[in-house]
Each structure stands twice: as C-alpha cells, then as structure tokens.
Amino acid sequence: MTRPILRFEHVGKSFFGVPALQDVSLCLEHGELLGIVGENGAGKSTLMNILGGVIQPDRGQMWIEGKPYRPSDPSEAKRTGIAFIHQELNLFTNLSILDNMFIDGFPRLASTPLINRRKAKDMTRRFLEAVALDVPVNTIVEHLAPGERQLVEIARALSQDARTIIFDEPTTSLTARESDRLFKIIGRLRQEQRTILYVSHNLGDVLQLSDSIAVLRDGCLVETRRASEYTTDKMITQMVGRDISQLYPPHHSRATTETALEVKGLTQRGIVRNITFSLCKGEVLGVFGLMGSGRSELARILFGIDPCQHGTISRRGHLRKAVSPRRSIDDRIAFVTENRREEGLLMEASVQDNMALVSLRQYARGGQLIERGRVTSSVSQIADSLKIKAERISTQVAKNLSGGNQQKVVIGKWLLTEPEVLILDEPTRGIDVGAKYEIYCIIRDLAAAGTAILCISSELEELIGICDKILVMSNGEIQGTFAREEFDEERILQLAFKGHKTHGHVG
Amino acid sequence: MSDHFVLFLSLLYFFVLWLFIPKITEPRNLANLSSNMWPLLTLVIGQMFVLIVGGIDLSQTSIMAVTSVLGAMVMSGRLDPVLFEKNPLWGVILSENGGALGGSIWALPVGILVMLLTGALIGLLNGLSVAKLKMPPFMVTLVSMFFFSGLAIYLTRSENIMYLPRGFVALGRGAVGSFCVALVLALLAWFVLSRMVLGRWLYAAGMNIRTALVSGVPTSGVIVLAYVFSGFCAAAGSILYSARLEMGRPTLGDNLLLDIIGAAVIGGISLYGGKGKVIWAVYGVLFFTILANSLNRMNLDFYTVQIVKGCVILIAALLDVTRMRLLAVSRLPKGGA
C-alpha cells in the first residue's frame, strides 16, 4: 500500500531573473528513497533548500501528507518533520554531542528554565545507539571524524522525529567504510518508513540506494523513474544532455621536457609529507585526492600562502626562498583558488577592478600611477578572449555574474599577469556544464601556448578528461603517479582511499 | 543610491530649515557653517581611509589632544609659573619663557612638524598593532584613545597652554586656513583613492582581505598606511582646532568622535569596509554640520543636541547594515554545490 507523503507541483525559483529551478513536479511515497542527480547548477540544492525552508519558491506548491506546505524558514520545515543534513555539516564543533542534539530546545526540569541533564543524556545515548555511534555523549564534536559528525546530525534528525530526511552530498567527505556504515543506517531509516531524499554526485551510490531517481538539468526535471530502469550511463546522458565524449575537448599533449616548477621533499607536519614532483612547460598535471588528502594545502604552500617546514620549490633552476603570494606573482606563478567567494574575488567590485587587481603595477607609471586606458584595453581583451558574459565590465559587479563567469574572471585576472605556471584548485566547482567545457578549452589552449598547469580536482573524471599526468594524494602524501596511457579510474580511487583511516574517538 | 544623494538631502534639509529659521542664511551663519565644516572634514578624510580598509580609528580625538598639547609645548611664548610649576616638564622644556622654542622664529614650523609627526607616529602604532599583531581595530584604537588622552592631561596637569605664535593663531581665524588644509588633504585622498594602485589596494584589503592577500596585495603595509594617514589627518585637524581656540588644550576634540564617525557614516562610507569616496565624506560633513548648526539655532542644550545627533547616526548606521543584509540575501547559492 502506498500513499504520497510529499508532493511538489510546478515549483520554480529564479535568482536575479535567472531561473535556477523551473516547473518541477515530484511525488514521494512513505518510506521511499528518491535519488536526485544532476550537474552542479542543475538545481538540486535549490530544490532541497526550498523543501528545507531555506529559500522560498517563486512559483508552484508543495504538499505534505495532503496539507499545503510553504515553510518561511528552516525551523518551520523542522517542525513539519523535515530534517536537512547538509553537505557542510551544521554542527557546533566547539560543543559536545549532547549540546548539539538539543541546541534548539533542551529538556527542562518540570517547567523551570533548568536543563534536565539526565534526561538529555539518556535521550542522546538512545539516539546515538540508533545510529550505531559508540562514543560518550559529552564528546566535543571537533574530535569526531567527518563520518561520525554526520551520524550525530542524523541522530539529531531522529531526535526531532523527522519523517522526511534530506541528505545533500553525504558521502563527499567520508571514507569508503564510513559510507558503508551510512548506507546501513539509511537502510534502517527506510525500514522505519521514513522518506529520504538523497542528493549525490556519486551515481553508483544513488543507483544502489534509490527506489526511484529524479534527474535534473539546468533547473528542469528531465525525468523520474524507478531506479531499476536506470544505468549510470543513462543518468549521465540525461544530466548532461549530450554524450560523455563531448564533455571534454579532444586531448593532445603539448607537454615539453623543460621543467617549469620543481618540488622536492615538501613537508609540513600533519599537512603534507615528502612531496616531490616536477611540472614541465605545456604540461597539464592533475592532482587527485579526497577531502583532507592535502591536495589544496599543497597548492597553498606552493603559492606561499601557507608555510612549509622542509623541502624546496624551484623555478627555472632557481631555488625559491621565503615564498609569499607577492613573490610567487613576481615569479610568474598564478593561483586560481578553490573558493571564488572567499579568496578569488572582490564580490562587491566590478569585473574590471577584479581582473586588474593582480597586475595593476604593470599598468602603472612608477608602479603606482594607474594608466587607466591601458588597464581597460588589456582587461577587455582578456575578457573577450575568455568570453566573459557581463553587460559592462567596468560597472557590472562580480557577485551578479553566474558561477561560470565568476570563475572566468578569476582565471582572467591571473592571465593578465601572463603566468608561466598556473595552479588551479577545483577550477570547475559549482559551474554549469557549458562553462566547464569552456574552462577545459582555456586550460588546453594555455598548455598549448606553453603554460605549465597544475590542476587540482576532486572530480576524477575531469582530470582524466584533461590531464597529461595525474598525481594521487592521500594522507598528505603522493601515493602514485599515472601517465595518460595508464589512467585507470579504479586504481586511482584505490590509491586515493589508501591510508584513509577511520579516526579514533579520542581527541 | 547615487553619489550625490546626501548632497540633495543636505540641500533639502537646509531649505526646510530656512522656511522655519530664515536667519540661517545670514552671511554670519554661513561663514560659521563653513568654518565648522573644514576642520571636521580633515578628520573625516583620515577616518575614511581606516574605514575603507575595514577598521575604525577611535583614537583620532585623543591624537588631537596630545598633538595640541605637544605643539603648544613647542610653540608657546609664555607660561604662567603658578599654573605650570608642578608640570613634569617644568625646567626641562617649559619655563616662564614658554615652550621649547618659545619666541623663536622656528617655533611655528617646528611646532607644526612635531604635531603632524606625532599624529602619524600614533597612527603607526595603531596600524602595526592591527596589521602585525592582528589585534581588533576597535580594541587597539580604544586603548590608544584612553592612553593618549590620559597622556595629554598628564603632560599639562589639565592646564591649557596659551600664548601661541601669531602665525599659528591666524590659521584658525575665519575659514580660509582650514579650507586650504582640508582642500589639500581632500585632493591628496582623492588622488590616492582613484588614481593610484595604493587606492585599489586599500579598497581590496577592505572588501576581502583574503582575496587581496592571494592577489599579491601587501595588505599589512596598506592597513598600516591607512592608520598613519588617519593619525596625520587628526594632527592636521588638531592644528586647525588649536589655532582657533588659540591654545594647546588637553581635552581638545573631547566630544568630536561622534561627529567624525557620524559624518562618515551619513556620507555612506561603510563600517564594513571597502566603500568610501572623498566626495561622500564631503557631503557627510556638510549634512552633519548643517544638522549641528540647526540644532544650535534651535537653542537646544548640549545633551539634547547629542541625543538628536546620536539618533541621526543610528539611522545612517541602520541604513548601512540594511544594505549589507540585502547584499547577503542576494548571495544565496544558485543551486549546485
């Protein structure tokens, strides 16, 4: 017997006139697990944020158990029995598990404002048991591994007796073993007739877990079907709207044998260990690793943002000492950071001011007096060549651009310095498929022009699509190096998980 | 909001006032308005640099007090032994013949130089504490506010130092001297902010210091420079106010902090950093001066004036916060991870 618990009808949402979600209609039954897949920017998070009350839809209606549902904020969604387990977990890492469980309402002693500690402890213990997490209830969350934190979130959802649970990319920061444990718990939640929405990039997991799967593309629902009718390839074709072979520009290696950057024995305690590699002109070198493998930290050390105890970095045979971002820029190294908003852009400044920021001194008489004509012409030249879509680059503010265009602005600001070594950290995170393709083309063209490129990514497929060589990192070490002809998704993943130990409970 | 919104607001307010208090357009009052505007503007321009890099300089008024006292200790031509005998510096640099250079033709230039350098030096201390020791600007400048206003009082035992050189006093007469000083500083500030790489660095450091750092902006140096300039402007303001009062005064600028920050915020210079223009500072000062003038004209007592000023600044700050909140809302993720 089945009855719908949750229904979406023609739900839509736009940001600044750009539709993020259009006319989505879905129907979920009690105890059903719906997998939701789609490229970045396809509207998955928007849809989940609407359900979780984080944002309000412009159009359409939602129904829960036959009643209209229109939450004005997350707490209303929570009261309606919807728990949202975010990709970046929403726990207070400085507080204990118990405090986190009851942060929005501790059990009280009778009707006094005093906390009933014993009752809180008992309840916490019970819910931790339900998620098979065997740690003391007063453990500070900071000391828990990512997988364990997630279990705490789930326990919290259970404590609020959530009937519908949203998982947004739950496995991104988990080890294989932690993921398995999560899946077992999800299985148990389904037995208890809870409804689950499971958003993930890992199509294999989705296929294995789901009863039915919804594919989103460019804000629209492509199709919803029983999971048994899907294959991974079919999902990809629907997500992308074209064949996988068209995702990446054709690969021609332009790698030379001339070294552009040489790294030897780079070590920083607890971050990276004994990193040695060399990067040649025209080469596209990929670095693959899971979260916490040290991949981004390596890039930050190379560029001089973070310190490093041992090891050497040399450019063109010269040892680089006392590296700082400023030195690196003078050494013709560029760094497109992982996080555009926080480290890549001045969100309030115009496209032109953003792009000119790094290379300003080249366009200034005496190093200080800006020659505005030259800045404008150089910036617009690069903006054109990168096909940045902005109304007017001198007035449009960076925050009003789409993710893809923002990323192009970040790349553009570094291209203005005419770099010889370009480090890219997650260059296509959070941008749509079309923009991704354009960025791959930019990378290819730069390599063809002799730029040495170090591309860090958590999407293995992407690295396989564009790199000449891939370094695999785990636990701060390079576990293996693969030349293009040896690329093997399974072996690379095995190495990436190697030594990825499940953490103990003690801090 | 257009660049000139606050100007229109000021003119509108002035016009409405004129309907009720026609005397406000009398030449004497206009001259009064103008001579009140320029010294305040010199202070606000300095404050603006610190606000742009995302800081705040609460110590400007105590910099005024301490430089006023030090300048006078160099320049004064005569000191009353009855008042100053117990002064810690009596017999060291102070005597019945005045300050260190009392009576000398060097008194004026050296005195002014000492004031400006002291201001810049205190700014340097503030800036280094913020940029190198990574201390919160509010704390740093609050401490220097107390320290230096205390120092100014200690150095003088609460006595005003009179008998300043005639050339110095002339600076404070009418609006010409203060207008010239404010104009020079305003032009300098405008040139730095809109024509120099340093200007872009100031804005970048205030908008997003991490992005600025990754982009090779020497953020520490830029922040230190902003505080140095703020201290320098405070000293310049101190010269104008001391000259007008014809004395070195240990409590100079006592009630001015509210006016400085208020004028900056009303002009639209954001307390969150990254936003501010010289023209905004000018308009903010214009509005604030007209406001203060009108309140005086209404014969309100000091405390009522402070209350009204406070409310107006509160509204301006509220606008600033609201604008930031609107920006934050528009930053919600557009789907995707």
- Name the residue of chain A whose CA is nearest to B211's CA: A343
B327/B321 Cα distance (integer angstroms):
10
Integer Rg of chain B from CA: 21
Residue B334 lies in a domain: no
Give the count of Cβ contacts less than 8 A between chain A and B.
118
A370/A373 Cα distance (integer angstroms):
9
The answer to whether residue A444 scores a pLDDT higher than 90 is yes
Judged by a CB distance cut-off of 8 A, whether residue B307 touches chain A is no
pLDDT value of residue A117 = 86
Mean pLDDT of chain A, nearest integer: 87
Q: Write the residue in A342, A360, A431 that is nearest to B210 by C-beta.
A: A342
Contact A356 B275 (CB under 8 A): no
Domain hosting B258: range is 5-329
Contact B333 A342 (CB under 8 A): no
pLDDT value of residue A390 = 80
Q: Write the residue in A41, A201, A357 that is nearest to B335 by C-beta.
A: A41
What average pLDDT does this structure show over A193-201? 90
Interface of B with A in 124-183 (CB under 8 A): none
Report the DSSP beta bridge partners of residue B88: none
- Name the residue of chain B whose CA is nearest to A300's CA: B214
Please give, rounded to a whole number of angstroms, the shortest distance from the CA of B311 to a CA of chain A: 29
- In this structure, what token pair is assigned to residue A216? 């989103």
DSSP string, A9-51: EEEEEEETTEEEEEEEEEEEETT-EEEEE--TTSSHHHHHHHH
Report the DSSP beta bridge partners of residue A7: A27, A63
B178/B62 Cα distance (integer angstroms):
20
Judged by a CB distance cut-off of 8 A, whether residue B214 touches chain A is yes
> Does residue B262 contact residue B312 with C-beta atoms inside 8 Å?
yes
pLDDT value of residue B175 = 87
From chain B, the residues in CB contact with A54 under 8 A are 332
What average pLDDT does this structure show over A169-195? 84
Residue B236 lies in a domain: yes
Band of the pLDDT at A88, cuts 50, 70, 90?
A: low
Sign of CA dihedral A143, A148, A150, A152: negative
List of domains in chain A:
4-240 (3.40.50.300), 259-332+419-497 (3.40.50.300)
Q: Kindly list the distances between the CA atom of residue B208 and the CA atoms of A326, A347, A356, in Å, as whole numbers in the listed order.
A: 17, 8, 15
Residue B335 lies in a domain: no
Return the closest-CA partner of residue A21 out of A40, A53, A44, A37: A44
From chain A, the residues in CB contact with B218 under 8 A are 326
- Name the residue of chain A whose CA is nearest to B208's CA: A346
Phi, psi at residue A437, to the nearest 5°?
-55, -45
- In this structure, what token pair is assigned to residue A360? 């300003």
B214/A308 Cα distance (integer angstroms):
17
The 10s digit of each residue's pLDDT in B80-102 is 888 888 888 888 888 888 888 88
Judged by a CB distance cut-off of 8 A, whether residue B215 touches chain A is yes
Contact A357 B212 (CB under 8 A): yes
Q: Which of A368, A374, A379, A428 to probe by mutation at the B interface, max B CB count within 10 Å?
A: A368
B155/A194 Cα distance (integer angstroms):
75
Q: Write the residue in B200, B212, B337 that is nearest to A45 by C-beta.
A: B337
Band of the pLDDT at A448, cuts 50, 70, 90?
A: very high
Contact B274 A346 (CB under 8 A): yes
The 10s digit of each residue's pLDDT in A377-407 is 999 999 999 988 887 888 888 988 878 889 9
Contact A369 B214 (CB under 8 A): no
From chain A, the residues in CB contact with B54 under 8 A are none
Contact B334 A46 (CB under 8 A): yes
Contact A169 B275 (CB under 8 A): no
DSSP string, A48-97: HHHHTTSS--SEEEEEETTEEE--SSHHHHHHTTEEEE-SS----TTSBH
Q: Which of B215, B219, B332 to probe by mutation at the A interface, max A CB count within 10 Å?
A: B215
Q: Which of the residue ranges A59-73, A170-184, B112-126 would you say has the lowest mean pLDDT? A: A170-184
What average pLDDT does this structure show over A420-432? 88
A304/A291 Cα distance (integer angstroms):
21
Helix (H) or strand (E) holding B108: helix B107-131
Number of compact structural domains in chain B: 1
From chain A, the residues in CB contact with B334 under 8 A are 15, 18, 20, 41, 46, 402-403
Residue B228 lies in a domain: yes
Helix (H) or strand (E) holding B140: helix B137-156
From chain B, the residues in CB contact with A335 under 8 A are 214
pLDDT value of residue A382 = 93
Residue B139 lies in a domain: yes
Please give, rounded to a whole number of angstroms, the shortest distance from the CA of A217 to a CA of chain B: 11
B276: left (phi over 0), alpha (psi -120 to 50) or beta: left
Q: Write the residue in A87, A343, A370 that is nearest to B211 by C-beta.
A: A343
Q: Write the residue in B195, B218, B274 that is nearest to A369 by C-beta.
A: B195
Judged by a CB distance cut-off of 8 A, whether residue B275 touches chain A is yes
Band of the pLDDT at A132, cuts 50, 70, 90?
A: confident
Question: HSE of B54 in the Cβ direction (CA atoms, 13 Å)?
Answer: 21
Contact A346 B332 (CB under 8 A): no
A254/B319 Cα distance (integer angstroms):
55
Band of the pLDDT at A418, cuts 50, 70, 90?
A: very high
B241/B115 Cα distance (integer angstroms):
13
Judged by a CB distance cut-off of 8 A, whether residue B221 touches chain A is no
Q: Which of A218, A343, A458 to probe by mutation at the B interface, max B CB count within 10 Å?
A: A343
The 10s digit of each residue's pLDDT in A258-294 is 999 999 999 998 889 999 999 999 999 999 987 778 8
Residue B169 lies in a domain: yes
ipTM rounded to 2 decimals: 0.85
From chain B, the residues in CB contact with A348 under 8 A are 207, 274-275, 327
A193/A287 Cα distance (integer angstroms):
42
Which residue type is seen at A3? R
CATH of the domain at B173: 1.10.3470
- Name the residue of chain A whose CA is nearest to B273's CA: A348
Q: Write the residue in B211, B335, B336 that is nearest to A346 by C-beta.
A: B211
- Name the residue of chain B whose CA is nearest to A299's CA: B214
Report the 10 Å Cβ neighbour count for A13. 23
Band of the pLDDT at A506, cuts 50, 70, 90?
A: very low
Phi, psi at residue A283, to the nearest 5°?
-95, 145
A50-59, A338-347, B234-243: which has the highest mean pLDDT? B234-243
Helices (DSSP H) in A362-478: which residue ranges? 372-385, 403-415, 433-448, 460-466
A422/A282 Cα distance (integer angstroms):
10
Please give, rounded to a whole number of angstroms, the shortest distance from the CA of B133 to a CA of chain A: 18
Burial class (CB in 10 A: 0-12, 13-18, 19+), B98: buried
Band of the pLDDT at A504, cuts 50, 70, 90?
A: very low
The answer to whether residue A10 scores a pLDDT higher than 90 is yes
Residue B303 lies in a domain: yes
Question: Angle CA(A160)–CA(A165)–CA(A171) in degrees, nearest 5?
Answer: 120
The answer to whether residue A65 scores a pLDDT higher than 70 is yes
Contact B274 A344 (CB under 8 A): no
What average pLDDT does this structure show over A28-45? 84
Return the closest-CA partner of residue A203 out of A175, A236, A166: A236
Contact A87 B195 (CB under 8 A): no
A378/B66 Cα distance (integer angstroms):
49
**pLDDT tens, chain B, 337 aa long:** 567 888 888 999 999 988 988 888 889 989 989 999 999 999 999 999 999 999 999 999 999 999 999 999 999 998 988 888 888 888 888 888 888 888 889 999 999 999 999 999 999 999 999 999 999 999 999 999 999 999 999 999 999 999 999 999 999 888 899 999 999 999 999 999 999 999 999 999 999 999 999 999 999 999 999 999 999 999 999 999 999 999 999 999 988 999 999 999 999 899 889 999 999 999 999 999 999 999 888 888 888 988 998 898 888 888 877 766 665 554 444 333 3
Residue B337 lies in a domain: no
Band of the pLDDT at A125, cuts 50, 70, 90?
A: very high
pLDDT value of residue B326 = 66
Return the closest-CA partner of residue A199 out of A38, A368, A400, A425: A38
Contact B207 A349 (CB under 8 A): yes
Q: Write the residue in A41, A356, A357 that is nearest to B334 by C-beta.
A: A41
Contact B203 A349 (CB under 8 A): yes
Report the DSSP beta bridge partners of residue A314: A262, A319
Phi, psi at residue A107, to the nearest 5°?
-65, 140
Return the closest-CA partner of residue A223 out of A455, A488, A381, A34: A34
